[in-house]
Amino acid sequence: MKAFFYTLREILEIVLIAVVVVVGVRYFLVQPFLVDGSSMEPNFHSGDYLLVNELSYRFKEPQRGDVVVFHYPGNKSTYFIKRVIGLPDERVEIKGGEIFVFNKEYPNGLKLNEFYLPSSIKTGGEKTITLGMDEYFVLGDNRGASFDSRQWGSLDKKEIVGSAWVRLWPLNQITAFARQIVY
């Protein structure tokens, strides 16, 4: 009987440790995310199942080209996925279907080369926005079908949950995403 209780205790300890590890990973490191809608096509499609890296932005800042998941500023219970275009303390101008970024390094402006988009995709609308210290400008890759910073303004850093890390579904498109340098 003593051996039975010892074995039961060992099993309970293992289960408890497993639960603590899974909960810790789920709430502090990686979060699942299901893409809903067409705003990030052709790179992400409705139904794509992603893992979001929640840890990376605790140690480094989001960079231009990163695909981020965040709380929509108009409704904190809703999550959006978009691409970072403008960084803190920059001015972003959209005109003639092109995006220009003005900052200390490029005071006369730099036309963005968005190699991850087909050349046929143009950024609609005319918009100029100057970002604050912890603000980002984000756009969907499907510029014609995206509700993004062109409509609701800048994204505060504290709303960012994490970066798209791995696509797990569909199985024929499993992908680990690397940081994309955009200029």
Active site residues: 39, 82
| Cα–Cα distance measured from residue 109 to residue 35, given in angstroms and rounded to the nearest whole number | 33
Long-range CB contacts for residues 130-133, cutoff 8 Å, separation at least 24: 130/90, 130/91, 131/86, 131/87, 131/88, 131/89, 131/90, 131/91, 131/92, 132/88, 132/89, 133/88, 133/89
| β partners of residue 83 | 67, 139
| Token pair 């231009």: residue | 64
| Helix (H) and strand (E) counts in the chain | 2, 12
Cα 142 versus chain centre, distance: 15
CA atoms within 13 A on the CB side of 90: 24
85: its two tokens: 């275009």
| Cα–Cα distance measured from residue 129 to residue 118, given in angstroms and rounded to the nearest whole number | 25
